[in-house]
Structure 1
Amino acid sequence: MISSATQSTALCCTNKRADSRFSILVHPIDDWGGESVKKLDLSSYHGLGDTIAKHIRYLEAIGMRHANHTEEPFSQICYASFPHSMVFRASGRIEKCTVALDHPKNQLGYVDAQKGIVLDETMNRLWSSYPIKTECVSCAQALSCLNLSCKRNTVLYGASNCNYICAYQ
């Protein structure tokens, strides 16, 4: 599996490695919602640290940027947390998160032929403004996320977006 995945990575990266706009996040298959994932046995994908590390070393060897810098400042801030980061769909809808594509709370607005870009600024602020929580102050990873890691669970379901609360406190 590693050789075919590495070959896929190489093919993907061949023309992109000199372009600083592109980077790859190496991540195992995971449950990001939906009905289809319930049919998969995801237990075999957990604990793939060695495989992920091999892919990261390969990307570094060919000079390709990767987004697996988990300890660096601001490295865990989700793109959807930035106020000017938006997904423009072919249908003209404007959304925040590329995982929750059809969720009503992911809809920011639309592109209109006469009005131009029409945005719900209240919804945009919901995705992009969260104060630092009390527990963040003592967290060893506070500068990595600033309480702006994956906003999907917080915005859509009211759950905590902290990936570090158990691991680092």
Structure 2
Amino acid sequence: MSGGLTLAAKADHAQEFAASFSNDLLHLILLPTEQCNFRCTYCYEDFSIGTMKPAVVNGVKRLIERRMPGLRQLHVAWFGGEPLIALNIVEDVSRFVKELSDRSVEVIYSAEMTTNAYRLDLETASRLCQLGIEQYQITLDGPQHHHDRTRLQRNGEGSFERIWDNLIALRNSDLSYRVCLRVHVTPANLPDMPGFIRLLREKFLEDQRFSILIKAVGRWGGPNDQTMQVLEGPEKTQALNALHEKALPGIKEESIYTPGGVCYASRANSLMIRANGEIGKCTVALSDPANSIGRLLEDGTLQLRNSVLRPWLRGWSSGDSEVLGCPLVGLPRSDGQPALLQIGARPVYGSDVNAVA
């Protein structure tokens, strides 16, 4: 529903509220680099920031080290750019965190990665699993002739064959992991998608380590937004429902990935740390000034601008389920502040800064 929560949802709301503001839970989204080896046609990132410098890496370590004694759960999500082109940083930080968590037996540590999987060969996956990174989201844009038109490598070549081979190798391994196959749907690939999803079901979804999320490509703020053909409104809903009915009838419930009702950006204890040390809330609106809520210092201190952070949490006071699901939509802004500025200038810091550990 739009607006207030139903009576039946109030208990869940209270539980979610407690978890989202709890000091013993910490969710960090880390961008070890904002460069990428792909140039997907719908991408909203501008690749203007490179790899994490040592001062930011040290800041991440010190932050986690300072918070660890008071934590019950720590979840690290690796994002980018493409995190695997900064594998040395991923491994360095993950090794540090795992050693800390192994000494803190009361802390539940988990980690995930959003990756294009071009570099996720079996050796790399094995090393990452040993460091606690056991959950992956990997995107496919349909069968090869569609995928290779939209998920291009930086050199303009396709990427499907290498990703598919890596997925098959993962499936054939005995590694402990979970993979969410994010399948992108567009008007161009829609006619071929029932057969492709049936192939994914045959090859992967009988393995309990794999699940599927079918998602329509949207206009997410990239330079090609005005020329892209996308599914929208009732047409999108009808197409996605039809794909589930045609390609996934009778599939086990656990094989369908279902996102939660509360976005991570609505949670006070969820922070994104960019490669340059800037702190944000949302991985979609990377360059939006409203998404720049502070900075991480090398000693692990967070300098947060509370007036910029506060609007991201407004769904809890209003009880609006749609705002909790995506606080970026309708985000209150200062006079003259542009909306959803994915591609553009970096924000300038003001004086409204609080330092917190």
Which category describes the TM-score, using the shorter chain as reference length? 0.5 to 0.7
Partner amino acid, structure 2, of 1:118: Q
1:124 aligns with 2:309: yes
Q: 1:37 aligns with which of 210, 218, 225?
A: 225
Aligned counterparts of 1:146 and 1:10: Cα–Cα separation in 2: 35
Aligned counterparts of 1:59 and 1:116: Cα–Cα separation in 2: 50
Give structure 2 stretches of 5+ with no counterpart: 1-191, 335-357
Please give the secondary structure, in 2, of the residue aligned with 1:123. helix
Q: Aligned residues, how many?
A: 138
Q: Specify whether residues 114 and 101 from structure 1 end up closer, same or farther in structure 2 by C-alpha distance, changes over 3 A only.
A: same
What is aligned with 2:35? none
Partner amino acid, structure 1, of 2:257: H
- Greater C-alpha Rg: 2
Q: 2:290 aligns with which of 105, 112, 115?
A: 105
Q: Percent identity?
A: 22
Aligned counterparts of 1:6 and 1:33: Cα–Cα separation in 2: 31
Question: Once superposed, what is the RMSD of the aligned Cα atoms?
Answer: 3.8
1:64 aligns with 2:255: yes
Give structure 1 stretches of 5+ with no counterpart: 69-74, 137-144, 159-169
State the TM-score, normalizing by the size of structure 1: 0.59
What is aligned with 2:196? 4
Please give the secondary structure, in 2, of the residue aligned with 1:36. coil
Please give the secondary structure, in 2, of the residue aligned with 1:39. coil
Q: Specify whether residues 11 and 81 from structure 1 end up closer, same or farther in structure 2 by C-alpha distance, changes over 3 A only.
A: farther
Please give the secondary structure, in 2, of the residue aligned with 1:42. coil
1:6 Cα offset (Å): 5.6
1:34 Cα offset (Å): 3.3
1:40 Cα offset (Å): 0.7
How far does the alpha carbon of each residue in 1:59-98 deviate from its partner, in whole angstroms, 9 at most, with x for none? 9826334226xxxxxx533221111122222222221111
Partner amino acid, structure 1, of 2:228: L
What is aligned with 1:152? 328
Partner amino acid, structure 1, of 2:302: I
Partner amino acid, structure 2, of 1:78: C
Instruction: Using CA pairs under 8 Å that are at least 6 residues apart, name the structure with larger relative contact order, 1 or 2.
Output: 2
What is aligned with 2:261? 76
